Chains A and B, each alone.
Chain A
Amino acid sequence: MHGSEAGAASMIFGLNSMWAAAILFVITYAAVMTEKVNRAIVALLAAGLMIVLGILNQEAAIRGIDFNTIGLLIGMMVIVAITRQSGVFQFLAIWSAKKVQAQPWGILVMISLVTAVTSALLDNVTTVLLVVPVTLLITEELKVSPYPYLFAMIFSSNIGGTSTLIGDPPNIMIGSATGLTFNDFAINLTPVTLVIMAATLIPIYFIWGRHLKAAPEDRQRVMQFNEYEAITDSRLLKQCLLVIGLVVAGFVFARFLGLEAATVAMTGAALLLLLANFGHDAEHQSKHVLEAFNEVEWITIFFFVGLFIVVHGVDGTGLLKLLADKMLALTGGDLTATAMVILWSSAILSAIIDNIPFVATMIPLIKAMAPTFGGPEGLMPLWWSLSLGACLGGNGTLIGASANLVVAGFAERAGQPIRFMQYTLLAFPIMLMSIAISTVYLYWRYL
């Protein structure tokens, strides 16, 4: 498709369209990074300019939007919006704390696992938004510092998110662009994320875990929590669990059923809306459907829409192909070297910049390398490198992922602020350790 949709020879303000697209692209990146203007506005404006300046026409712009990613995101967001009302997140946090007799280190491990598993299946931000307040309540009752718990939750939400197709936006984008399925992600990424999760808990244990102590009477108070009271609507909970179960089954059997991920998620969302509203009058239904739709993160969705158009515009000019060739020249066309460059550079860049535009750019760039590595099949190690780097890199700094910022917001209000440098000094090395583990894994399994 390179060069086919854009008039490569056309001139804009005396620049050829490749340079116009490149300049627009760089400005978009810079504007997203400075955060002076909301990122959805930046992306939509840049997308509009791509069309207005004639780099793309509207039809080509629409073709550039990956509606499979958009549909999957919206579908899962609706499912989460309804599920969160049932109180299941709070239930899981309390239940897991009681399973370990409310011992401080045991709770840290359990809460990390709950966060990782729910982040793997649902959205990371919602997971931490709902689990952090209960965790802060538990640490308050135990009279222990919440800091190590919050630190561990940031890591586990990002590590959990790395392990599945639907866990983190970069994986959703990669899966959608390459046709890699839920099972492909589970088989290729889940094993290494389990190792990384366990390895991450080791430094956390030595830095904080071994010093965590709580008095028996304080532990007793946590043991008296009645987790079943956290469930606010048990009928709704059963409906949510049923639908989430069906959706996960849908992802697992997607290839067999000939379905795309967006179809599974959107149909699941529609089914859950039907079940949750069945038998209610029209007014009640409108109110509840609207509430669920209002919880969809439209900023993220429109950011994606705009970005897809911008990246498609840049891709169409042949610029990304050019960059891919440059990168291959650097690595000498060697698969191992290319995979390592992608893994480590994605990790370090994702710690500093938003990983969504980065991955959106890398996808066409990696696709352009297919001829060098013997077709799309040969690119497999590169996709896993991109996913591991972009998802895990988010742990490196406080601004690496949106879930990190949500946790930091809670910490601030709890009077235990997570300082940027203080976090980075510990988190960046632990993030690098996870990338080192990924390096060994990729080398051992694919290279």
Chain B
Amino acid sequence: MTAETLMNPNLVALKPTDSVTTAADLILQHHLRHLPVVDEQGRYLGTFGIYSVLQLTLPSAVLKQGLENIAFVMETAHDLAQRLRRRHDEPVRNWLTQDPVVYPDTPAMKVLQLILQGHTSVPVVDKKTRRLKGIISSWNVLEILMRERA
């Protein structure tokens, strides 16, 4: 079994210039935790997901300076929402996370390991063109395995 068997080829992807709000809407609408971001040629640039949105409610000092403990910051839901609102027009390319990618012929075991280690979805790209071919989430894997059982 390879990555190609596990992947979902029906992609919902973001453009790097899409705003944080657009991304958040898509995440909620499709109930997708991780959205791949691709350039005009369809090449994989990074991932923007629900954790990226939640991160943006935190002060920059936490995001960029590695403050380990921020329990002392006493904020209201309003404060957090305010901060997110200030960043809602920013393009998602400013906040991409780089997930390890796999190729269509990557063994399924390797894919499972990546999903479990990173608690994320795994993008599948073409080896030569780097074009995004599909994405493998923990849901895809479980669905396929349940079908197999039947």
Residues of A within 8 A of B (CB): 87, 90, 94, 132-134, 136-137, 140-141, 221, 224-230, 232, 410, 413-415
Q: How far is the CA of A230 from the CA of B79 in the complex (A)?
A: 20
Question: For residue A141, which residues in chain B have a CB less than 8 angstroms away from its CB?
Answer: 59
Question: For residue A140, which residues in chain B have a CB less than 8 angstroms away from its CB?
Answer: 59-61
- Is there a chain A Cβ closer than 8 Å to B65's Cβ? yes
Q: Which of B59, B67, B74, B79 touches A226 (beta carbons < 8 Å)?
A: B74
Contact, CB under 8 Å: A136 / B61: yes
Contact, CB under 8 Å: B69 / A137: no
Proximity bits, B67-92, A CB within 8 Å = 1, else 0: 10111111100010000000000000
Given that A225-B72, A225-B74, A226-B72 are contacting pairs, would A134 and B59 also be in contact in the complex, using a CB cutoff of 8 Å?
A: no
Question: For residue A87, which residues in chain B have a CB less than 8 angstroms away from its CB?
Answer: 69
- Is there a chain A Cβ closer than 8 Å to B64's Cβ? yes
Given that A140-B59, A221-B79 are contacting pairs, would A414 and B64 also be in contact in the complex, using a CB cutoff of 8 Å?
A: yes
Q: How far is the CA of A39 from the CA of B69 in the complex (A)?
A: 33
Provide 30 A-B residue pairs closer than 8 Å at the C-beta atoms, listed in order of the A residue: A87-B69, A90-B69, A94-B72, A132-B65, A133-B61, A133-B66, A133-B67, A134-B67, A136-B60, A136-B65, A137-B62, A137-B67, A137-B73, A140-B60, A141-B59, A221-B75, A224-B74, A225-B72, A226-B71, A226-B72, A226-B74, A229-B69, A229-B72, A230-B71, A413-B64, A413-B65, A414-B60, A414-B64, A415-B60, A415-B64
Please indicate which of the listed interface residues B60, B71, B73, B79 has the most CB atoms of chain A within 10 Å of its own CB.
B73
Write the chain A residue with the least CB distance to B70. A137
Proximity bits, B108-145, A CB within 8 Å = 1, else 0: 00000000000000000000000000000000000000
Question: For residue A414, which residues in chain B have a CB less than 8 angstroms away from its CB?
Answer: 60-61, 64-65
Question: For residue A94, which residues in chain B have a CB less than 8 angstroms away from its CB?
Answer: 72
Q: How far is the CA of A87 from the CA of B70 in the complex (A)?
A: 11
How many interface residues does chain B have, given as a range?
A: 10 to 19
- Listed from nearest, the 7 A-B pairs whose CB atoms lie closest are A137-B61, A229-B72, A229-B71, A133-B65, A136-B61, A230-B72, A224-B74
Contact, CB under 8 Å: B61 / A90: no
Question: For residue B67, which residues in chain A have a CB less than 8 angstroms away from its CB?
Answer: 90, 133-134, 137
Residues of B within 8 A of A (CB): 59-62, 64-67, 69-75, 79
Question: For residue A229, which residues in chain B have a CB less than 8 angstroms away from its CB?
Answer: 69, 71-72
- Given contacts A224-B75, A228-B72, 19 further A-B pairs with CB under 8 A are A90-B67, A133-B61, A133-B66, A133-B67, A134-B61, A136-B61, A137-B67, A137-B73, A140-B59, A140-B61, A225-B72, A225-B73, A226-B71, A226-B72, A230-B69, A413-B65, A414-B60, A414-B61, A414-B64
Q: How far is the CA of A329 from the CA of B69 in the complex (A)?
A: 58
Q: How far is the CA of A415 from the CA of B61 in the complex (A)?
A: 11
Q: How far is the CB of A417 from chain B (nearest CB, A)?
A: 13
Please indicate which of the listed interface residues B61, B66, B71, B79 has the most CB atoms of chain A within 10 Å of its own CB.
B61
Q: How far is the CB of A406 from chain B (nearest CB, A)?
A: 12
Q: How far is the CA of A133 from the CA of B70 in the complex (A)?
A: 11
Question: For residue A133, which residues in chain B have a CB less than 8 angstroms away from its CB?
Answer: 61, 65-67
Question: For residue A227, which residues in chain B have a CB less than 8 angstroms away from its CB?
Answer: 72
Q: How far is the CA of A87 from the CA of B71 in the complex (A)?
A: 11
Q: How far is the CB of A408 from chain B (nearest CB, A)?
A: 13
Question: For residue B66, which residues in chain A have a CB less than 8 angstroms away from its CB?
Answer: 133
Question: For residue A225, which residues in chain B have a CB less than 8 angstroms away from its CB?
Answer: 72-74
Write the chain B residue with the least CB distance to A94. B72
Question: For residue B64, which residues in chain A have a CB less than 8 angstroms away from its CB?
Answer: 413-415
Q: How far is the CB of B67 from chain A (nearest CB, A)?
A: 5
Write the chain A residue with the least CB distance to B67. A133
Q: How far is the CB of B65 from chain A (nearest CB, A)?
A: 4
Question: For residue B59, which residues in chain A have a CB less than 8 angstroms away from its CB?
Answer: 137, 140-141
Question: For residue A410, which residues in chain B have a CB less than 8 angstroms away from its CB?
Answer: 65
Question: For residue B72, which residues in chain A have a CB less than 8 angstroms away from its CB?
Answer: 90, 94, 225-230
Q: How far is the CA of A410 from the CA of B61 in the complex (A)?
A: 10
Q: How far is the CB of B64 from chain A (nearest CB, A)?
A: 5
Q: How far is the CB of B72 from chain A (nearest CB, A)?
A: 4
Q: How far is the CA of A410 from the CA of B67 in the complex (A)?
A: 12
Q: How far is the CB of A338 from chain B (nearest CB, A)?
A: 45
